[in-house]
């Protein structure tokens, strides 16, 4: 892609979005600039505190367990109480719990507060995604989610490098820094973002009469949507090893926190640099092929870590699975956005984020067990198997669709008609829309 074409694509990506979106985007960027706990928890426990990989895996798993609980609870809160109150409560409590974690010394206290951090830090995700869908026009939502994902990774690229340096001098400074920036996000939300939850219709229409039935049971019975959630879990289980298995393996190989910070920062830098041109390349490709190929790249990208020696070799493996992330996340999120009814967005986003939360619970246990008992190479082999299974799952999910159906795009309608489209449209229609509707969206829950 030429520089001129890249510049044009960049200008088209940011044009026409409402001011409220940019404040939400800014809060996402600030929040990710302070990311420390999720990235360096395993190194903090194994190198700074001297605990085993199994204990580190248990603590990070408890952090993930907190996310499992809060994904569902926060999803319901987002629909019932509103987006803004949920965001404020989540960010303020996260700032407190992260700061508290930095002062914990007893193993049981560390585990308990890590669970609390998991509950609070994941509670904002359904609200952010729902608010973004509320304030952005249907035809611009794909683009808005992609820009939010870009902010997540821009912040991560900076914070991973900076936090690696900070960790070599003081882990406590990292905890307090994340707490301060998270509190700044809460202030920003309070000052700049109004409530965006759509008002429920007061007429006696059939649609209005059916809305109270949208609950967690409705989401769980939505077979098409839950298929996406299940495959997202497998992919999340792989990607989570970038912050769980990779730091432990590099630490055991004699690398410093700074080395790991530089290696994992490659992920964020590449997404910042490549998200726009790669999106332009894939947006009209067959989503089935994109999902299958990205799953294989993710699994075998991590599997290549078994053969890495010097730091640059680890960085090369990150390049492979980062490409998978760039392709998979927007294509998959295109399905999720259109499958969510207007007045059930919080619950649908909560269940979707559950796939990442459960992966955050399972991945550390898997990594700790395999590394302690069999060695890191077995962990990387397992990621290859998971990638293969996920690729087969994506292929089966869309195998029954005709070529014509797979390319049909659902025309974005008004918010009032979106629930009908989401509930009656086929996976093929949804996937077709993810291809042709401007820029594919990326998962706001990767954060």
Summarised one tens digit per residue, pLDDT across range 162-191 is 777 777 778 888 888 889 988 988 888 888
Q: What's the count of helices (H) and strands (E) in the chain, helices before strands?
A: 21, 0
Return the SS3 of 6.
helix
Over residues 225-241, the mean pLDDT reads: 90
Tell me, what's the pLDDT at 434? 33
Q: What are the extents of the domains in the chain?
A: 18-197+216-446
Tell me, what's the pLDDT at 435? 32
Tell me, what's the pLDDT at 398? 73
Q: pLDDT, tens digit, for every residue of 274-288?
A: 877 777 677 667 777
Structure tokens at 397: 């999910």
Tell me, what's the pLDDT at 300? 96
Over residues 408-420, the mean pLDDT reads: 34
DSSP helix, strand, coil percent of the chain (3-state; round to 5) = 80, 0, 20
Tell me, what's the pLDDT at 425? 37
Between residues 447 and 330, which one has the greater pLDDT? 330
Terminal Cα-to-Cα distance of the chain (whole angstroms): 28
| Residue 84 confidence (pLDDT) above 80 | yes
Tell which phi-psi region holds residue 311, choosing left (phi > 0), alpha (psi between -120 and 50) or beta: alpha
DSSP string, 89-135: HHHHHHHHHHHHHTT--SHHHHHHHHHHHHHHHHTHHHHHHHHHHHH
- Helices 141-169 and 124-135, axial angle in degrees (round to 10): 150
Between residues 341 and 383, which one has the greater pLDDT? 383
Confidence of residue 10 (pLDDT cuts 50, 70, 90): low
pTM over 0.85: no
Tell me, what's the pLDDT at 4? 60
| 136-150, 229-243, 344-358, 371-385: the lowest-pLDDT one | 136-150
Q: pLDDT, tens digit, for every residue of 417-444?
A: 343 333 333 333 333 333 333 333 333 3
Q: Where are the alpha helices (DSSP H) in 170-256?
A: 171-192, 206-210, 216-220, 223-239, 245-252
Tell me, what's the pLDDT at 28? 84
Tell me, what's the pLDDT at 239? 93
Q: pLDDT, tens digit, for every residue of 392-404?
A: 988 887 775 434 3
From the list 365, 302, 263, 356, the residue with the least C-alpha distance to 67 is 356
Confidence of residue 11 (pLDDT cuts 50, 70, 90): low
Tell me if 234 sits within 8 A of 355, measured CB to CB: no
Tell me, what's the pLDDT at 251? 86
Instruction: Please give the backbone phi and psi of residue 293, each rounded to the nearest 5 degrees, phi first.
Output: -65, -40
Q: How many CB atoms lie within 10 A of CB 4?
A: 8
- CATH homologous superfamily for 18-197+216-446? MFS general substrate transporter like domains (1.20.1250.20)
| Residue 405 confidence (pLDDT) above 60 | no
Name the residue with tokens 């829309």: 433
Strand segments (E) across 299-380:
none
Mean pLDDT, all residues of the chain: 77
Tell me if 119 sits within 8 A of 70, measured CB to CB: yes
| 143-147, 325-329, 397-401, 424-428: the lowest-pLDDT one | 424-428
| Residue 308 confidence (pLDDT) above 60 | yes
Structure tokens at 291: 């999902």
Tell me if 66 sits within 8 A of 101, measured CB to CB: no
Q: pLDDT, tens digit, for every residue of 29-49?
A: 888 877 777 777 877 888 888
| Per-residue CA distances from 87 to 98, 127, 132, 405 (Å) | 16, 6, 12, 39
Over residues 90-118, the mean pLDDT reads: 90
Confidence of residue 116 (pLDDT cuts 50, 70, 90): very high
From the list 125, 126, 127, the residue with the least C-alpha distance to 85 is 127
Confidence of residue 1 (pLDDT cuts 50, 70, 90): low
Name the residue with tokens 């949920």: 86
């Amino acid at each position: 892609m030429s520089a001129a074409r890249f510049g044009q694509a960049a200008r088209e990506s940011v044009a026409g979005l409402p001011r409220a979106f940019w404040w939400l985007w800014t809060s996402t960027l600030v929040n990710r600039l302070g990311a420390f706990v999720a990235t360096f928890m395993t190194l903090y426990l194994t190198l700074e505190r001297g605990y085993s990989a199994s204990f580190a895996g248990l603590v990070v798993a408890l952090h993930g367990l907190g996310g499992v609980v809060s994904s569902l609870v926060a999803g319901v809160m987002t629909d019932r109480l509103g987006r803004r109150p949920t965001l404020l409560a989540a960010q303020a409590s996260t700032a407190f719990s992260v700061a508290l974690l930095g002062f914990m010394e007893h193993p049981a206290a560390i585990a308990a507060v890590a669970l609390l951090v998991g509950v609070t830090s994941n509670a904002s995700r359904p609200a952010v995604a729902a608010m973004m869908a509320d304030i952005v026009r249907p035809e611009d939502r794909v683009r808005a989610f992609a820009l939010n994902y870009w902010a997540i990774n821009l912040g991560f690229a900076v914070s991973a490098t900076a936090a690696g340096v900070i960790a070599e001098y003081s882990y406590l400074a990292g905890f307090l820094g994340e707490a301060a920036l998270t509190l700044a996000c809460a202030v920003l939300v309070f000052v700049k973002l109004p409530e965006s939850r759509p008002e429920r219709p007061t007429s006696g229409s059939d649609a209005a009469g059916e809305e109270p039935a949208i609950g967690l049971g409705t989401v769980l019975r939505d077979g098409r949507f839950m298929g996406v959630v299940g495959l997202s879990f497998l992919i999340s289980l792989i990607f989570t090893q970038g912050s769980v298995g990779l730091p432990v393996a590099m630490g055991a190989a004699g690398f410093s926190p700074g080395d790991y910070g530089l290696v994992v920062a490659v992920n964020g830098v590449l997404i910042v640099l490549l998200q726009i041109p790669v999106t332009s390349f894939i947006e009209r490709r067959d989503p089935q092929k994109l999902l299958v190929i990205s799953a294989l790249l993710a699994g075998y990208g991590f599997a290549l870590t078994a053969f890495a020696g010097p730091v640059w070799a680890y960085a090369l493996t990150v390049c492979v699975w980062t490409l998978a992330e760039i392709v998979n996340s927007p294509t998959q999120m295109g399905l999720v956005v259109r499958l969510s009814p207007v007045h059930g967005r919080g619950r649908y986003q909560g269940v979707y984020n559950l796939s990442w939360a459960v992966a955050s619970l399972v991945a550390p246990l898997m990594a700790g067990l395999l590394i302690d008992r069999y060695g890191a190479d077995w962990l990387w082999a397992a990621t290859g198997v998971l990638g293969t299974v996920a690729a087969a799952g994506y292929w089966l999910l869309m195998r029954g669709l005709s070529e014509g159906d797979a390319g049909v795009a659902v025309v974005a309608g008004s918010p009032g008609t979106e629930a009908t489209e989401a509930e009656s449209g086929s996976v093929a229609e949804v996937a077709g829309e993810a291809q042709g509707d401007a820029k594919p969206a990326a998962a706001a829950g990767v954060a």
